[in-house]
Homo-oligomer: A and B are copies of this chain.
Amino acid sequence: MPRSPALAATERTPRRGHGRVTLADVATAAGVTAITVSRYVRGEGYVSAETAERIRNAIGQTGYVPNKTAGGLASGGSRMVAALLPNIANSIFGETAQGLAEGLSHAGYELMLGSTSYSMEREEEQLRAVLGWQPAALVVTGRHHSAAARALLRATQARGTPVIELWDHHDPGSEGFAQVGFNHDEVGHAMAAHLLDRGHRKLAYIDSGVSEDFRAHDRGVAFAAAAKAAGAQVQLVVGAAGDAFDAGRDVIRRLVQGAGKGRAKKALAVSALAFANDHLACGALLEAARSGIRVPQDLALLGFGDFALARQLLPPLSSVSLPRHAIGAQAAACLVAALEGDAPAASATLPWEIVARESTGTEAPKR
């Protein structure tokens, strides 16, 4: 059926558009062509003050919102960064995500977020999924990825898309990706040193129950190595899965059982415990109080993460304070710099610090 001119005027052309207001609509309303509106919107090229005014009004009237997917398609670049984190619910990665979101958003980038549930397999899936959106840059967590994921990351980087690994900083730089984080071996060493300095010779590291938390394992291995090198005894214990507080309590309960009770009571098998995270440590601290174990006299406890709770308990928990938010913020800054400057992303080591509180003794370490 041929369309009458009148009808055509009402409904415009057939299958034209998906109902959204386009650049062309604004242009018509402003009495210019689309490219002029485009220039105005992007703030590039020359647009006379008079024309700009007309366009401004037209945009206001029509409620135009630029279509960024079309823009990206045309220009071959997008203002969107995809990030893959093990877990967003976790306060550790939550703050990192927050830092990323803030930093990117201020620079005019959007954030596409994927949660990998600490699984390399999921990471690979998510990677394929977000890659289809042509992100301007890619953020992943840690330096352990499946072979296929590594290949995808390498190919992506080869095409000029910056890739950053978060939360780790290891010298050989695995594949040459930029890294924003810190070295977990160093933290493991420092945790051991902190306890050794205070005279402890029987140590244990309580690892996270999350099997793919590689960074926690790395710290544990380094902790053990440092302790052994100093001639101390070390155990590596894996905390129970599930609620971390309960897992921490559980560690203390088993320790007390091992020591026997009543008249058969012996000294605890270890004198200091280092944990993969503060929740484990706080659970242990609370259980110690109930078991009559004096902290730090009978047992010193050292956490990791310096959560808000750590300094609230009695005794306050010594812990490793982390640049949780800074990692995200710094990654955002690195990416934006790389993107604007058309350079590869830069790595950054971010500072962490052992905050000595009562749970590992208030004494200054003997020199």
Contact = CB atoms under 8 A, between A and B. Distances in A.
Interface string A76-120: 111010000001111100110110011001001011111101000
Contacts of A159: 19-20
A325 interface: yes
Determine the main DSSP class of A at the interface with B.
Answer: mixed
B325 A312 contact: no
User: What's the number of copies of this chain in the assembled complex?
Assistant: 2
A68 interface: yes
24 contacts: A19-B160, A69-B72, A69-B73, A69-B78, A70-B73, A73-B73, A89-B98, A94-B94, A97-B113, A98-B115, A101-B115, A108-B129, A110-B114, A110-B130, A110-B133, A111-B113, A111-B114, A112-B112, A112-B113, A243-B308, A245-B308, A245-B312, A249-B312, A279-B308
Interface stretch (A45-53, A59-67, A292-300): A59-67
A101 B114 contact: yes
B97 A132 contact: no
A77 B312 CA distance: 50
A36 to B, nearest CB: 19
A134 interface: yes
A42 interface: no
Nearest to A111: B113
Interface string A293-314: 0000000000000001100111
A282 B245 contact: no
A233 B47 CA distance: 65
A265 interface: no
Contacts of A131: 65
A283 interface: yes
A244 interface: yes
Contacts of A68: 132-134
Given A111-B112, A133-B110, A245-B308, A91 B88 contact: no
B98 A87 contact: yes
